[in-house]
Structure 1
Amino acid sequence: MDLQQARVLRDLLADTRWWDRTRAFGTALRTSTKGPGGLLLVGPPAAEPWHLTAHLDDEARYAEIPELSPTLVRWNPPPNAPRHLSVGLDRLAAARRGESLLVVAEAAPASLLERVQDVRRAGATIFALDTGRTELADLAHEILSVDSTISDTIPVEDGTFGFPPAVPGGVANSESGWKSASGSPVSFDSAQHLLSIAAAESAPGPRGSGGSRGRSADGPGSTEARGMRSRLARLLDLISGPDS
């Protein structure tokens, strides 16, 4: 999936609660990091989050948000690695309050969980993008879970993707409010593209880093909104091909 496809998918999901969750998660990620170099990304030893690091870096430069430019933390960088690919685990040991750690993991081995726990103790804010089948929920302040076994889909008739009703009085971005993350409509890979877009968007105002996108006056369940989702779904099929 390239940036154009990711933005088409973002528009497909714009009237769903899943995108609202992703956008709130991205906003919290951006605002919790107090200065350039303070956003760290790490994954399991066999699945370092190269792609999300690159996407976030592109969005940070495009949106001119230097604190969003990430540092990829690697388990065993080779001695001759370029500077931006040579940051080792010592950087996690130096993490402090005002910095953020984003853990990207479809599976989280004990070695990763131990490192994350140490960073949390040091006062950094822990974010996690996982599959809902790891133990990261016990360590993360904010967690967004997706089902890594599914392919991207189009919205169902009401655009909810089967989400349960919103909890009255629920607080976005609170630790307790992010522990349940079920019903993802996208794949794990696509979620990383969408998160990079969401993190660069401003929290208030219209959606879309490339310009304003207004909501239909009749609401997300209106005929006009459903028609837009249908057209975008067909466009996504043209770009990426139908699901096998």
Structure 2
Amino acid sequence: MDAASVTFLREVLSSAWVEGTRRLGRALRSTRSPGGLLVVGTPGEDPWHLAAHLDDEARLSGLDQLRPTLVRWAPPPGAPPHLSIGLERIAAARRGETLLVVAEEQAPAPLLERVDDARRTGTTIVALDGGDPELEGLAHEALAVPPTAPLSFDAAQHLVSLAAGEEPRRRGLRERLARLADLVTGPRVPD
């Protein structure tokens, strides 16, 4: 999916979906150091595509902390170093690091146990899932993309990676005052 397609998708989606992907992107930006953003999937699905997009966003935005570490369930023997990191890396996760769990299907018990252990060490847990209440219960930030969502799980991954690389938008004084006025008096109706 190219940048123009992702931008178009943002324009046609409801603001709740766009804000959800931005919330996850902000959570990923809070990782303190390069290599501290761990990305793991389920035994049957390595989220290499999302990891590649996060690596691109790290390069384009200059945010080295977004450079992900892809954690794999069963790295093949002889894999290149960046593709040979196994589940033991989750056990070594610590405060200041972020574990992004990408699971379109329900997370298996061994993954949930590892996520719980990482959370206990102070690792920030972020989940992009298909609607898994157990995984979401362990996550500090989560976005569920069930099969009935107005976007595909793949599209949600693209939106999250784009949001991670974005500079957080700061509201100007005029915009903040207008929002405050709306809260006090109700929204303005155009003439």
* TM > 0.5 fold call: yes
TM-score by length of 2: 0.84
Residue 46 of structure 1, CA deviation: 0.3
Partner of 2:136: 137
Partner of 2:156: 191
Q: Which moved more, 1:22-31 or 1:52-61?
A: 22-31
Alignment check: 8 A CA contact 1:27 1:202 kept: no
Question: One-letter code of the match for 1:76?
Answer: A
Residue 130 of structure 1, CA deviation: 0.6
Partner of 1:96: 94
Alignment check: 8 A CA contact 1:23 1:199 kept: yes
Partner of 1:202: 167
Query: What secondary structure sits across from 2:161 in the alignment?
Result: helix
CA RMSD across the alignment: 2.4
Q: How many residues align?
A: 177
In structure 2, distance between residues paired with 1:129 and 1:75: 18
Partner of 2:47: 49
Partner of 1:229: none
Residue 21 of structure 1, CA deviation: 2.1
Give the structure with the higher percent helix. Answer: 2
- Structure 1 unaligned spans of 5+: 151-183, 207-216, 224-244
Residue 121 of structure 1, CA deviation: 1.2
- Structure 2 unaligned spans of 5+: 172-177, 179-188
Residue 134 of structure 1, CA deviation: 4.3
Query: What secondary structure sits across from 1:102 in the alignment?
Result: strand
In structure 1, distance between residues paired with 2:109 and 2:133: 10
Instruction: Map Cα deviations across residues 121-147 of structure 1 (whole Å, 9 max, x no partner).
Output: 111000000111341022111111112
In structure 1, distance between residues paired with 2:145 and 2:129: 6
TM-score by length of 1: 0.67
Residue 54 of structure 1, CA deviation: 0.6
In structure 1, distance between residues paired with 2:56 and 2:11: 20
Deviation beyond 2 Å, 4+ runs, structure 1: 1-4, 10-13
In structure 2, distance between residues paired with 1:84 and 1:3: 25
- CA 98–130 in structure 1, closer or farther in 2 if over 3 Å, else same: same
Question: One-letter code of the match for 2:39?
Answer: L
Residue 115 of structure 1, CA deviation: 1.0
In structure 1, distance between residues paired with 2:94 and 2:132: 28
Partner of 2:10: 10
In structure 2, distance between residues paired with 1:80 and 1:2: 32
Q: 1:84 aligns with which of 71, 82, 85?
A: 82
